[in-house]
Chains A and B, each alone.
Chain A
């Protein structure tokens, strides 16, 4: 049987290997997903007029800012993890990838703390449309983070065995996972600006 071409090598006329094109397409669909949610936000907010609360009335901007920095740092360490592999330094990869995962978990814990404070003060999604869209948007984003943590942990742990046999392919995997991770980070920056600051 023939092998499937371009799993590792780059195809000349597209300039990509298969998984990289795949992740870009997937991210395009993610843009549409969050695009749909953000346009829902715009429509609901325009419809509400004066009644729309300022983000800061419900949300703690300081905590949000802190979490933004956490996630941005994890994006940087993810990039370093990939760069380490490019420089054939597996030890550094392990470290940076580990930090990425730890930062993601920190982000989730802070988010969980925020949620629990909301519930403690009896703020629920059913209270008003602002809280509804806040919980929905951040919830879906958190699911994306969790998905990223699962994948990154796999690539950090059992998945990293591939480095021995197919180093190039493994490096590609980290690159692809990284593209996803930067995207999730980017979404958060949007989300933070829209929900907390506006």
Chain B
């Protein structure tokens, strides 16, 4: 009796906790990153209270944060800085990337290429647990003396070099996250190259797989320099070196005891060498998801598939030589500025190509307005706004005015929040039936989509106005003490109200996600009548995925093929 009980227990651990099945690991990534997204969103709501009502106590819950964070419920500037740095870090490294790559990539890529699993299942598990440990370190850092890292998600020295111990935790946490993404990216690339099923040539790969492939290369090659930089910052903090500390530095009027001779710009170069490709890591998987859903719901082949593939490869290459457009204000000289300005303008071309291909796909399609489709459709103009507002930032002259203002916050949030996050929502609604055998509720979906869409714009559009008026970002009082900001400050309350409404609009989603797992409408193996291989598995797919031998005979998006009996021709069906 106890024997069998023990066996049962160990099989539970093996099956759901330390699983090597790519689908379980994908779900683990998904659940963890959704929780982190919610957490990152929550701490941002605290910040929005402070920005809307500076110096006023936060009612009800304000007191629980304690005297060293919010004495009397009023937020200290130090705490605001911690929240700001950790909102950025958590959203990027613990929320969006693990959801887009760790969850969707893990779950969908092997299915879409007809593979039984990832190439290295054990590395896959190690990747998840390394991510998990990194996340725990980040969370624990809130409770060490001096609190969490507070030098921004960018950790610029010299501030970060002399910050409290939370910054050391941040660096250790990042080391785990970098390890995780390294293991993951090697695994994805090998899987996509080696485990494609018979007949699945590169030009027959679903665009989602292409997006994950390019993303993995970016993670593989861009993260290590940040790892190098993190080690150097750790040396600065723990061994007293001066990699990032120039000579003659004064801290509060006191000369620093360090040897000096370092360079603060060195950190910025190494950081942005990662962080620019990282923004493509945030957006490419989202584009991949949107592609799948657009094709499926317009019942049309994707416009210019090949061109999109070339565009995304080109984009991957270019993203390694644009990083210093984040550093126009560091006085690096006009020649270098011009170079990075030019590469930045060039890299916008492939993005425009991909966006244009999306709109072309819509043209004349018999559109099904499903919930995933609504989110995917909303992605297009939101990404468009985010992209267009980025162009002035890429021009050195315009950036002098706009740099470090709320204009920048508005710009990149249009890409990552109503852009990427909407695409990720779309993906959840779209693939939920494959993972569970049930559909999510449509009415709740509408209750989630429409208010979210409106609120996102009410939040981020006014930030452009504030930024153009010159309101700086990272101000704990929202600009209260700046004369030039006064004309734009009334927007702060407005934005915060919209943020809280946005939070309420996520409740239907959470209910939908939990309830539909048990009570959603039951569906078959291919409920969306889609063409790609993931829909050829049983639902939910068993360990090992496919129950029959597969071959691929055609491209990924053969919808409405003239002469075919149905309006979709799956990749695994032989041509007559």
Q: Is the CB of B261 within 8 A of A128?
A: yes
**Is A32 engaged at the interface, CB distance under 8 Å to the other chain?**
yes
Asked whether B227 lies within 8 Å of A33 as measured between CB atoms, the reply is yes
B193 with A21: CB separation less than 8 A: yes
Q: Assess the A125–B235 pair: CB atoms within 8 A.
A: yes
Task: Give complex CA distance A5, B120 in Å.
Answer: 11
Say whether B182 faces chain A, with CB atoms less than 8 Å apart.
yes
Chain A minimum-CB-distance residue to B246: A47
**Is B223 in contact with A22, judged by CB distance below 8 angstroms?**
no
Contact yes or no, B190 A21, CB < 8 A: yes
B186's partner among A25, A44, A133, A136 (CB-CB below 8 A) is A25
Contact A5 B195, CB 8 Å, known A28-B220, A33-B228: yes
Is the pair A129, B259 in contact by a Cβ cutoff of 8 Å? yes
Residues B189 and A37 in contact, CB atoms below 8 Å apart: no
Contacting residues of chain B (375-404) with chain A, CB-CB under 8 angstroms: none
Question: In the complex, which residues 517-576 of chain B have their Cβ closer than 8 Å to any Cβ of chain A?
Answer: 542-546
A197 at the interface (CB under 8 A from B): no
Pairwise interchain contact B270-A36, C-beta atoms closer than 8 A: yes
List B contacts of A127 (CB < 8 A).
259
A29 interfacial by beta-carbon distance below 8 Å: yes
Smallest beta-carbon distance A21→chain B, Å: 5
Known: A51-B261, A125-B241, A132-B241. A25 touches B189 (CB 8 A): yes
Q: Name the one of B187, B223, B546 contacting A29, with C-beta atoms under 8 angstroms.
A: B223
Determine if B11 is an interface residue (Cβ-Cβ < 8 Å): no
Let me know if A16 is at the binding interface, CB within 8 A: yes
Q: Is B266 in contact with chain A by the CB < 8 A criterion?
A: yes
Which chain A residues border B62 with CB–CB below 8 Å? none
Knowing A2-B544, A14-B194, A21-B194, say if A33 contacts B225 (CB, 8 Å).
yes
Pair B241/A26 contact, Cβ less than 8 Å: no
Q: Does B263 contact A44, Cβ atoms closer than 8 Å?
A: yes
Return chain B residues, CB-CB under 8 Å to A25: 185-186, 189-190, 220
Closest partner residue, chain A, to B189 (CB atom): A25
| Tally of A interface residues using CB under 8 Å | 42
Contact B195 A6 (CB under 8 A): yes
Q: Is the interface of A mostly helix, strand, loop or mixed?
A: helix
Bound CA span A48–B263, Å: 10
What is the CB-to-nearest-CB distance from A168 to chain B, in angstroms, rounded to a whole number?
A: 17
A6 to B226, CA, bound (A): 33
Minimum CB–CB distance for B227 against chain A, Å: 6
Nearest-CB distance from B111 to chain A (Å)?
13
Residues of B within 8 A of A5 (CB): 194-195
Asked whether any CB of chain A lies closer than 8 Å to the CB of B36, the reply is no
Instruction: Please give, as numbers and ranges, the residues of chain A lying within 8 Å of B223 by CB-CB distance.
Output: 29, 32
What's the nearest-Cβ distance from chain B to residue A190, in Å?
Answer: 14
A136 contacts B231, C-beta separation under 8 Å = yes
User: Interface 1/0s, chain B 196-237, versus A by CB < 8 A?
Assistant: 000000000000000000000000111111111101100100
CB-CB under 8 A from B227, the residues of chain A are 33, 36
* Contact in complex: B120, A18 (CB < 8 Å): yes
Q: Are A30 and B224 in contact (CB under 8 A)?
A: yes
Q: A125-B239, A125-B240, A129-B242 are in contact. Are A4 and B190 (CB under 8 A)?
A: no
* B195, A32: Cβ atoms closer than 8 Å: no
Shortest distance between the CB of A147 and any CB in chain B (Å): 12
Is A87 part of the binding interface, using a Cβ–Cβ cutoff of 8 Å? no
A29 and B116 contact, CB distance less than 8 A = no
Asked if residues B258 and A126 are in contact (CB atoms below 8 Å), the reply is: yes
- For B172-199 the 0/1 string (1 means CB < 8 A from A) is 0000000000100111011001110000
Q: A18-B120, A22-B187, A126-B239 are in contact. List 17 more A-B contacts (CB 8 A).
A: A18-B194, A21-B193, A22-B119, A22-B186, A25-B189, A29-B220, A32-B223, A33-B224, A36-B270, A37-B228, A40-B270, A51-B261, A125-B235, A125-B239, A129-B241, A129-B262, A132-B259
Which positions in A face B, CB cutoff 8 Å? 1-6, 11, 14, 16, 18-19, 21-22, 25-26, 28-30, 32-37, 39-40, 43-44, 47-48, 51, 124-129, 132-133, 135-136, 140
Chosen A-B contacts, 27 in total, with CB atoms closer than 8 Å, are A4-B115, A4-B121, A6-B194, A11-B194, A21-B189, A21-B193, A22-B190, A25-B186, A25-B190, A26-B182, A29-B221, A33-B224, A34-B228, A35-B224, A37-B228, A40-B243, A40-B266, A44-B261, A48-B261, A124-B239, A126-B258, A127-B259, A129-B242, A132-B239, A132-B241, A136-B231, A136-B232
